[in-house]
Amino acid sequence: MGRLDGKVAIITGGAGGMGASYAKRFLEEGANVVITDILEKEGRAVAEDLGGNIKFLEHDVTKAAEWEKVVAETESSFGPVSVLVNNAGIALLKSIDQMTEAQYRRVIDINQVSVFLGMKYVLPSMRKAEHGSIINISSISGLRGNSDSIAYDASKFAVTGMTKSAAIEFGKEGIRVNSVHPGIIETPMIRKSRVSQLAKKIPLQRTAQPVEVSNLVVYLASDESNYATGSEFVIDGGLTAKL
Interaction site with ligand NAP (CB under 6 A): 12-13, 15-19, 37-39, 59-62, 87-91, 110, 137, 139, 182, 184-185, 187-190
Q: CA 238, CA 241: separation in Å to the nearest integer? A: 5
CB of 173 to ligand NAP, least distance (A): 26
Residue of 104, 152, 219, 227 with catalytic role: 152
Nearer to ligand NAP, 2 or 186 (CB): 186
What are φ and ψ of residue 56, in 5° steps? -105, 140
Nearer to ligand NAP, 129 or 220 (CB): 220
Closest CA to 204 of 216, 212, 192: 212
> How many other β-carbons are positioned within 10 Å of the β-carbon of residue 142?
25
Q: Is residue 227 flagged as an active site residue?
A: no
Q: CA 13, CA 156: separation in Å to the nearest integer? A: 16
Quote the longest CA-to-CA distance of the chain.
Answer: 54
Nearer to ligand NAP, 52 or 188 (CB): 188
Rg (CA), the chain: 17
Catalytic residues, by residue number, are 152
